[in-house]
Amino acid sequence: MASELILGIETSCDETSVAVVRGGREVLSNVVASQLVHSNYGGVVPELASREHLRAILPVLREAAQRAGVSYADLDAIAVTEGPGLAGALLVGITFAKAFAFGLGKPLIAVNHLEGHIHAVLMEADFSSPLLALVVSGGHTHLYLATRTAQGAGARTTWSYRNVGKTLDDAAGEAYDKVAKLLGLPYPGGPWMDALAAHGDPKAVPFRSAQIKSKATGNRASKLSREAAGWQDAVRFDLSFSGIKTAVRRHVELNAMQPEITARAAALRAAGLATARPSDEAALAATLDHFDRHTLDLIAGFQASVAGYLTRTVFAAAEHFGARAVLVSGGVAANRELRRRITAEAALRGLPVAFPSIALSTDNAAMIAAAAWLKFLARDFAPDTLEPTPQLRLG
Ligand code: KG4
Ligand code: ZN
């Protein structure tokens, strides 16, 4: 088994993470410092994110090395997220990684964050190719057809990616966070919505599918790209989440829910729950006390439509492209309803399906170190001039 050690650094959004991964697969440490500073703002404040990364990066690095039981001299390469992400946040990680690699005299490897999310799954299991990958997070909702190829004399594996669908407006996680904010929940609201949805009836407040996919069918961009590339080849599976967000907002207005929402947000803050996480059972129970049945049903209805919509789109794309496996990654891959539905549909179709372990679903540096592994083997190192690419694309 390969024993080279890659240290990964991830600072593209609001998690400062450093990990040590051996041989592209074995996670020796994966330290993630989540920034709590954004919880009262309803979203990530870029300037604050950069400052928090600057503050956290050294302690997180020290802890990652210590937990892995390695010294810096043992490392074989330093991998860092190049993009996509927030420019200032990426800049902290890249500047740090460059200086660290330079000081140690080790090579630097630039990693696409989206490829990192896919490798969060590939590092844990082997798959048939081609596979359909859904990367679904707070910043992204992309569908990729990923194909494995063997290259070179030693038949070294590489993966190539083709983007076959993306959101035309909000990312799915962003829709979760915006709806959560609309209902008075702290940021990031996705995990809260997931936890609270389990206490509501998803059928009590149904959302029609027309409310969630109006923009995704027959959109102009898709038509143009289809015409440019020929119809057969360029069928796309784009998505849209602004419709469901608006439907929830309309529901809140029509049912005059605003006063109770404002009161709830204030009560959660006063009870010190604004920076809590739903994985804390006591915090979840205390938060639940502030919710009435109707709001819980609304949350469950929202979650059912988003998970159902994503599931239908994933399998329509998988079928169209003849994918031999389905892989789901990114923060929203932690969503229990999405996991349940995709797992059930894959079983019906006899397709293998995989999600990352929960720790590897949200942003982390282990996935960056894992994605860097094939580049390390190919000696595909980053130049000294490496800069952040906030809009970096994959495929
Ligand atoms: O991958 P990630 O950590 O960061 C980005 O690259 O965006 O994803 C974070 C996103 C947030 O929008 C968060 O609300 C959402 O993933 N999220 C969830 C769940 N856990 C995290 N959304 C729904 N259900 C969850 N369990
Ligand atoms: Zn991410």
- Say which residues have a Cβ less than 8 Å from residue 118's Cβ, sequence separation at least 6: 133, 135, 144, 146, 159, 161, 327, 329, 371
What local confidence, expressed as pLDDT, does residue 234 receive?
A: 75
Q: Which CATH architecture has domain 166-355?
A: 2-Layer Sandwich (3.30)
Over the stretch 1-54, which tens digit does the pLDDT of each residue have?
A: 678 999 999 999 999 999 999 999 999 999 999 888 777 776 788 999 999 999
Over the stretch 294-345, which tens digit does the pLDDT of each residue have?
A: 999 999 999 999 999 999 999 999 999 999 999 999 999 999 999 999 999 9
Per-residue pLDDT, averaged over 168-186, amounts to: 95
- Region label for 132, one of left (φ > 0), alpha (ψ between -120 and 50) or beta (otherwise): beta
Kindly give the distance from the C-alpha atom of residue 347 to the centroid of ligand 1, in angstroms, as a whole number: 25
What local confidence, expressed as pLDDT, does residue 254 receive?
A: 95
Over the stretch 334-386, which tens digit does the pLDDT of each residue have?
A: 999 999 999 999 999 999 999 999 889 999 999 999 999 999 999 999 999 99
Pocket of ligand 1 contains residue 188 by CB under 6 Å? yes
Report d(CA 211, CA 248) in Å as an integer: 10
Centroid of chain to Cα 231: 30
- Say which residues have a Cβ less than 8 Å from residue 366's Cβ, sequence separation at least 6: 8, 17, 19, 21, 27, 30, 120, 123, 360
What local confidence, expressed as pLDDT, does residue 214 receive?
A: 44
Domain locations in the chain as residue ranges: 1-124+357-395, 166-355
- Please, what sign has the CA dihedral across residues 161, 50, 360, 150? positive
Pocket of ligand 1 contains residue 173 by CB under 6 Å? yes
Kindly give the distance from the C-alpha atom of residue 117 to the centroid of ligand 2, in angstroms, as a whole number: 7
Per-residue pLDDT, averaged over 116-129, amounts to: 93
Report d(CA 268, CA 248) in Å as an integer: 21
Which of the residue ranges 32-36, 87-91, 162-166, 313-317 would you say has the lowest mean pLDDT? 32-36
Asked if domains 1-124+357-395 and 166-355 share a fold, the reply is: yes
pTM for the predicted model, two decimal places: 0.91
Given ligand 1 and candidates 12, 114, 176, 284, which is best to mutate, with the most ligand atoms within 8 Å of its CB?
A: 176
The domain made up of 1-124+357-395 is a member of CATH 3.40.50.10540: no
Task: State which ligand 1 atom lies nearest to the alpha carbon of 363.
Answer: 3
Pocket of ligand 1 contains residue 368 by CB under 6 Å? no
What local confidence, expressed as pLDDT, does residue 212 receive?
A: 60
Percentage of residues in the chain having pLDDT higher than 90? 82
